[in-house]
A and B are shown apart, each in its own frame.
Chain A
Amino acid sequence: MAKQRVVVVGGGLGGLWATLRLAEAGHSVDLFSMFQVKRSHSCCAQGGINAVLDIKGQHDSIEQHITDTIKGGDYLGDQPPIKTMCQDAPGLVHTYDRMGVTFSRTPEGIMDQRLFGGVKNRRTCFAGATTGAQLLYGIDEQVRAHEGGGRVRKLEFWEFLSLVLDDQGVCRGVAALNVRNMKVETFRADVVLLATGGAGLIWGRSTMSTNCTGAAAARAYQQGAKFANGEFAQFHPTAMKGHDKLRLMSEACRGEGGRIWVPRKAGDTRLGRDIPENERFYFLEEWYPAYGNTSPRDVASRAIVRVTRHMGLGVRGQDIVYLDLTHKSREFLEARLGGILDMYQTFAGVDPYTNPMEVFPSMHYTMGGLWVGFDKDGQTGGMARISPKNHATSVPGLYACGECDFAYHGANRLGANSLLSASFSGRVAGDAAAAYLKNLKSGCDKVPDSVYDAERQRQAEINQALLARTGGENASTLHHQLGELMQQYVFVERDNAGLDKALAGIAELKERGRKISLDDKGNWSNQSLPWARQVQDMIVLGEVMTKCARLRDECRGSHYKAEFELKQPEGKFAGDPEYEAYTEKWKANNERWLKHSIATHTPAGPQVEYWPVDSSVMPPTKPRDYR
């Protein structure tokens, strides 16, 4: 067989880890990215990465990390991969440490750990408040060493357009757009990995970078890859307001002691700092005394929406609550959170050291994504560490890792578990792809040129049609309208009437998306063309997410429909007959709904079916309860 070829698309933590593992295994990797990989969205992650090191005398354990992750995800995550991820986390952060990542230290010089949401132990390693950037740089440097050694070829400023599938439906390469000379080319590959990140831009504004459109995943989906759990999107409780981006204020703010509150008096006109203690309503601490300000994100975001929109207690009557760090010393805050507090100062023009910050929930993370499988290790009950089944999508020869896949986080992700899953899944997917290559009988060199020519032609024609059209719709306008629908109807609280409206609106946008025309007709670095295509793909993925949300008639993790809520009996806990009756109802509901929603593309829209969840590590016997 000719020398095997590998394509990795995306250069955040997932893509870089996969690239590194494949390069170390001796493969030559073509690494595609729409921009220099060092600018990938992983750099925006702030707070930290979870790994049980148990350095704070709390008797933290890997079992507890597994339990917290499973429960945090409201049992919707397949459990064997979660188990293995948590087991491998300490080794993974030590590897980052060996790469020279500038983790914050204890006085003894070991990696320090802080508290994060949905847990009770200090389990989060961090590098100031720019942990994602520091991890990204660490792995980027390792890949650069292989680039220098000739193993890795970076194709930056290339945009993935489609998979090249052979007549058996096996993935044999990609078609990509050179965003400088605007030419479409195809690349042969024996295996392709997508590590293309989340899809926050579908909500118009989010905490995500402007390139997080989800378009690459949407393209694979439209070519047959199944998309799982699309309805599960995380709304981070504390983001700044803004009309271009909703900038994240890390959960680390609360892990380090930050408190969320609103004035007790509706429409109080005083500045936050002038409102006395006894006139402040610390609603998370009151409603969830066990976890308080570090309740999981879905719980905290719902509480914020309740206090602002249902109780009318938002700051100045608006969709705003306070995130308050002013009781902590400046020195402490500078060392632990300096990077993001500077950012708040820059963009809000207000000093967060002396004023409570103004925040509200924002679209932040897509738990759903391309469906990927795993190989269960019969002996350990975890995931087999090396197997071609791990992170394989439903398209043979196509793998996915990082936020663009659906694994690990179920219905809600715990804070500081995303840097972990992005890194871990990249490592596992790289190893899986290498195993796939070892077993591959017939390589892409046997696929006739005509297969590649046809795909290149198809993509070039799409571009030409866009360039030729005049007087049509504006891509940015459609994007705003999609964002408005998603913000209004597919947000923290959902209901079926609203979701029906969203689906009708999206159907209309889809139609109008076919009539987009461009203000730029040029053939050099034309940014209007890829943007128009991304908007069309965002509409497709938005439809999947909304349809899955419409069909799921229950409350689970981030997906909340009041009509179907099983209310926890107030003031009652396990052992109380009323609580036990609630638990029985909860179990009955799991029978119906504890399933992955799996969307398959058809010309008429997504077809949704339900697949079982592997709950073999910790069967769901007790409902989540953070009170």
Chain B
Amino acid sequence: MDKVIHFKIKRQDGPNSQPYWEEFKMPYAPQHNVISALLYLREHPVNTRGQRVAPVAWESNCMEEVCGACSMLVNGVPRQACAALVDDLEQPIVLEPLTKFPIIRDLAVDRQKMFDALIRVKAWVPLDGSQDVHEPAPRISPADQALRYVYSRCMTCGCCMEACPQYHDHSDFIGPALFGQVALHNSHPTGGFFKADRLHALMDPGGIAGCGNAQNCFKVCPKDIPLTHAIGELGRQTTVQWLRDLLMK
């Protein structure tokens, strides 16, 4: 082999197995990304010791950084592997699973708790059914739409959770991604009717008080979602809510 792509991959056969490192080399071709290379290795799963091994397990789907499936650590950085171009990466390219979620196998992890948290914070606009009500939704200014659009690009990929020092096994902090979703739904004209429900969820243990203001979350977000801005805004909203709750007692 002349020019090669060299991978060093942290593998683990199952949730309770010991992790181990395995290296692979494959022929270089321009325009590879990490997932297209893993697809090549699926067909030719031979490690650098010449052993044919079980192909690496991982999750991916869209291959264009919109579905959020292929989050992993690429050279130590949490990101979408499909948008990590081999030509831009230092070799050997080190792939590791996200560390904040239970391992399923190799690079695949279980991100279910993020989706459970979306239920907890009621991240939706309540409807009186999906039937046509023969009336359009309230108007939204282009400026408000632009801000909401930024939040609504969240793929629930987990990169911000990985980067957050407060989000880990021994903490009940719900993690930065959820704040963007609460900000999104609180800012909707009718979604805002139920603002208090979402804010109360954030005032519970593990909510907004858990943020340590490390500001790592928005730096790794593949969609540049201003999560720190959302946390700041929701900090104000929860304070107002707290006062309102006091008065209503």
Q: Given the interface contacts A210-B63, A243-B31, A244-B35, does A97 sit within 8 Å of B136 by beta carbon?
A: yes
**Nearest-Cβ distance from residue A33 to partner chain B, whole angstroms:** 11
Which B residues from 32 to 67 make CB contacts under 8 A with A?
32-33, 35-36, 39, 42-43, 45, 52-55, 57, 59-67
CA–CA, A97 and B190, complex, Å? 11
CA–CA, A474 and B44, complex, Å? 9
- A348 — nearest CB in chain B belongs to which residue? B31
Whether A210 lies near B61 (C-beta < 8 A) is yes
Contacts of A617 in B (CB 8 A): none
Whether B130 lies near A148 (C-beta < 8 A) is no
B182 at the interface (CB under 8 A from A): no
CA–CA, A446 and B24, complex, Å? 54
**Nearest-Cβ distance from residue A29 to partner chain B, whole angstroms:** 14
- A91 — nearest CB in chain B belongs to which residue? B132
Q: Given the interface contacts A102-B149, A524-B105, A525-B14, does A44 sit within 8 Å of B64 by beta carbon?
A: yes
Q: How large is the interface on A (under 10, 10 to 19, 20 to 34, 35 or more residues)?
A: 35 or more
Whether A99 lies near B127 (C-beta < 8 A) is yes
Binding-face segment, A137-145, A286-294, A567-575: A137-145
B20 at the interface (CB under 8 A from A): no
Which A residues from 485 to 529 make CB contacts under 8 A with B?
519-522, 524-528
CA–CA, A346 and B85, complex, Å? 8
Count A/B pairs, Cβ under 8 Å: 196
Whether B54 lies near A142 (C-beta < 8 A) is no
Whether A98 lies near B125 (C-beta < 8 A) is yes
Whether A522 lies near B13 (C-beta < 8 A) is yes
**Nearest-Cβ distance from residue B154 to partner chain A, whole angstroms:** 8
A389 at the interface (CB under 8 A from B): no
CA–CA, A20 and B191, complex, Å? 19
Q: Given the interface contacts A39-B69, A144-B124, does A347 sit within 8 Å of B36 by beta carbon?
A: no
A36 at the interface (CB under 8 A from B): yes
CA–CA, A117 and B51, complex, Å? 52
Contacts of A335 in B (CB 8 A): 146
B68 at the interface (CB under 8 A from A): yes
B68, B126, B132: the one within 8 Å of A88 (CB): B132
- A476 — nearest CB in chain B belongs to which residue? B43
A214 at the interface (CB under 8 A from B): no
B212 at the interface (CB under 8 A from A): no
Contacts of A105 in B (CB 8 A): 139-142, 145
Contacts of B136 in A (CB 8 A): 94, 97, 110
Q: Given the interface contacts A35-B59, A476-B43, does A148 sit within 8 Å of B119 by beta carbon?
A: yes
Q: Given the interface contacts A94-B136, A243-B31, A244-B39, does A43 sit within 8 Å of B130 by beta carbon?
A: no
Contacts of B85 in A (CB 8 A): 346-347, 349
Whether A102 lies near B145 (C-beta < 8 A) is yes
- B147 — nearest CB in chain A belongs to which residue? A102
Which A residues from 574 to 599 make CB contacts under 8 A with B?
none
A50 at the interface (CB under 8 A from B): no
**Nearest-Cβ distance from residue A508 to partner chain B, whole angstroms:** 19
B202 at the interface (CB under 8 A from A): no
CA–CA, A105 and B139, complex, Å? 9
A427 at the interface (CB under 8 A from B): yes
- A38 — nearest CB in chain B belongs to which residue? B156
Whether B43 lies near A477 (C-beta < 8 A) is yes
| Residues 103-115 of chain A, each 1 if its beta carbon lies under 8 Å from chain B, else 0 | 1111111100000
A369 at the interface (CB under 8 A from B): no
**Nearest-Cβ distance from residue A412 to partner chain B, whole angstroms:** 24
Whether A247 lies near B63 (C-beta < 8 A) is yes
Whether A525 lies near B35 (C-beta < 8 A) is no
Contacts of B35 in A (CB 8 A): 244
Contacts of B83 in A (CB 8 A): 346-347
CA–CA, A141 and B35, complex, Å? 28
B188 at the interface (CB under 8 A from A): yes
| Residues 1-44 of chain A, each 1 if its beta carbon lies under 8 Å from chain B, else 0 | 00000000000000001001100100000000001101111011
Which A residues from 446 to 491 make CB contacts under 8 A with B?
474, 476-477, 480
Whether B142 lies near A107 (C-beta < 8 A) is yes
B29 at the interface (CB under 8 A from A): yes
CA–CA, A216 and B188, complex, Å? 38
A127 at the interface (CB under 8 A from B): yes
**Nearest-Cβ distance from residue B43 to partner chain A, whole angstroms:** 4
Whether A94 lies near B54 (C-beta < 8 A) is no
Contacts of A524 in B (CB 8 A): 13-14, 105
- B37 — nearest CB in chain A belongs to which residue? A244
Whether B127 lies near A243 (C-beta < 8 A) is no
A44, A110, A242, A427: the one within 8 Å of B62 (CB): A44
- A523 — nearest CB in chain B belongs to which residue? B14
**Nearest-Cβ distance from residue A600 to partner chain B, whole angstroms:** 32
Contacts of B66 in A (CB 8 A): 43-44, 130, 133, 339
Which B residues from 202 to 241 make CB contacts under 8 A with A?
none
CA–CA, A97 and B188, complex, Å? 10
Contacts of B68 in A (CB 8 A): 38-39
B153 at the interface (CB under 8 A from A): yes
Contacts of A101 in B (CB 8 A): 152
Contacts of B52 in A (CB 8 A): 519
Which B residues from 184 to 211 make CB contacts under 8 A with A?
184-185, 188, 190-191
- A430 — nearest CB in chain B belongs to which residue? B130
Whether A525 lies near B152 (C-beta < 8 A) is no
CA–CA, A130 and B127, complex, Å? 23
Q: Given the interface contacts A44-B64, A346-B85, does A104 sit within 8 Å of B145 by beta carbon?
A: yes
Q: Given the interface contacts A144-B123, A247-B64, does A36 sit within 8 Å of B140 by beta carbon?
A: no
Q: Given the interface contacts A92-B132, A98-B133, does A519 sit within 8 Å of B55 by beta carbon?
A: yes
A124 at the interface (CB under 8 A from B): no
CA–CA, A513 and B104, complex, Å? 29
Whether A144 lies near B119 (C-beta < 8 A) is yes
CA–CA, A128 and B142, complex, Å? 12
Whether A145 lies near B124 (C-beta < 8 A) is yes
The interface centre, meaning the residue of B133, B136, B146 with most chain A CB atoms within 10 A of its CB, is B136
Whether A141 lies near B124 (C-beta < 8 A) is yes
B69, B119, B140, B142: the one within 8 Å of A35 (CB): B69
Contacts of B100 in A (CB 8 A): none
Q: Which 6 A-B pairs have the closest CB atoms?
A: A109-B139, A91-B132, A244-B36, A141-B124, A476-B43, A97-B137
| Given A95-B132, A347-B83, A349-B85, 19 more pairs with CB closer than 8 A | A17-B130, A36-B115, A38-B68, A91-B134, A100-B124, A102-B145, A104-B142, A105-B139, A105-B141, A109-B139, A109-B140, A145-B126, A148-B119, A209-B62, A210-B61, A245-B63, A339-B153, A524-B14, A525-B14
23 A-B pairs in the complex with CB atoms less than 8 angstroms apart: A36-B156, A39-B67, A43-B62, A88-B132, A94-B136, A99-B125, A104-B145, A109-B142, A110-B139, A127-B152, A144-B123, A148-B122, A210-B62, A247-B63, A346-B65, A474-B43, A519-B54, A520-B54, A522-B13, A524-B13, A525-B108, A528-B54, A528-B55
Binding site for A on B (CB under 8 A): 13-14, 29, 31-33, 35-36, 39, 42-43, 45, 52-55, 57, 59-69, 83, 85, 87, 104-105, 108, 111, 115, 118-119, 122-127, 129-137, 139-142, 145-146, 148-149, 152-153, 155-156, 184-185, 188, 190-191
Binding site for B on A (CB under 8 A): 17, 20-21, 24, 35-36, 38-41, 43-44, 88, 91-92, 94-95, 97-110, 127-128, 130, 133-134, 137, 141-142, 144-145, 147-148, 180, 209-211, 242-245, 247, 335, 339, 343, 346-347, 349, 427, 474, 476-477, 480, 519-522, 524-528, 531
